[in-house]
Amino acid sequence: MTTTETYAPIAGGNAISHPDAAGYHQRWLIVDDSDRWFSDTKRLSKIRLDIRFGYLALQAPGMLRLDIPLDVIEDDDSVRRQIMVDGQTVDVVDEGEVAATWASACLGLPCRLVKIHPDAAPIQWPA
């Protein structure tokens, strides 16, 4: 019997089983309009995830698919921001207005999709 490991590309969201998923485990987060990690797993479970052709594909009922590039060089400081995760300040990269509009419509509240900056300190995730 083989076991397949699963990984959650969006912290607090659905896990997926994909050969490339381990490298993207908890790389993205949804943040509310106060720049705090949105960890409502019930709401986040509406977002189905997949990795395909170099993109993180997000799907939800009644919504068009949103594709986010997996590996982008983070060289534009204008999209960097700091958010809070369980009392920790975390350096992230904002995925832009299209992703924010998609996430807000899907979850029913103002929010943004952000990616942990590759140079950010490790996060101590709450249990």
Give the residue among 117, 113, 120, 31 at the shortest CA–CA distance from 76: 117
pLDDT tens track for 35-91: 999 999 999 999 999 999 999 999 999 999 999 999 887 778 888 999 999 999 999
Q: What are 50's two structure tokens?
A: 């997949």
Give one DSSP letter per residue of 41-99, joined into a string. HHHHTT-EEEEETTEEEEE-TTS--EEEES------GGGEEEEEETTEEEEEEE--HHH
Question: In the predicted model, what is the mean pLDDT of the chain?
Answer: 92
Assess whether pLDDT exceeds 50 at residue 1.
no
pLDDT above 90 covers a percentage of the chain that reads 83
| Burial (Cβ within 10 Å: 0-12, 13-18, ≥19) of residue 112 | buried
Give the residue among 105, 91, 92 at the shortest CA–CA distance from 47: 105
Assess whether pLDDT exceeds 70 at residue 2.
no
The pTM score is: 0.92
pLDDT for the residue numbered 3: 53
pLDDT tens track for 87-111: 999 999 999 999 999 999 999 999 9
